[in-house]
Amino acid sequence: MPHLILAGKMDLGAAAGVLDSTVHRWGRAVLKSENRWVRSDGAALLVEGVVVEFSRPLHPVALVAPHHGDTIIRLWSPVSVERTDAVQRWLAIIAATLHGAGFGRFKGSNIAERLWQDLLNQYASSSS
Query: Above pLDDT 90, what percent of the chain?
Result: 84
Query: Which residues does 15 contact at the CB level (< 8 Å), separation at least 6?
Result: 45, 64, 98, 101, 103
Question: For position 123, what pLDDT does the model report?
Answer: 72
Question: For position 119, what pLDDT does the model report?
Answer: 87
Alpha-carbon distance 61 to 71, whole Å? 16
Q: Report if pTM > 0.85.
A: yes
Residue type, 10: M
Band of pLDDT at residue 38, cut at 50, 70 and 90: very high
- The alpha carbon dihedral of 83, 55, 20, 59 has a sign of negative
Domain extents for the chain? 3-126
Question: For position 124, what pLDDT does the model report?
Answer: 63
For residue 76, pLDDT over 70 is answered with yes
Question: For position 125, what pLDDT does the model report?
Answer: 53
Mean pLDDT (whole number) for 17-45: 95
Alpha-carbon distance 12 to 9, whole Å? 9
For residue 128, pLDDT over 50 is answered with no
Question: For position 57, what pLDDT does the model report?
Answer: 96
Mean pLDDT (whole number) for 56-71: 97
Mean pLDDT (whole number) for 62-83: 95
Strand partners, 46: 37, 63
Question: For position 59, what pLDDT does the model report?
Answer: 97
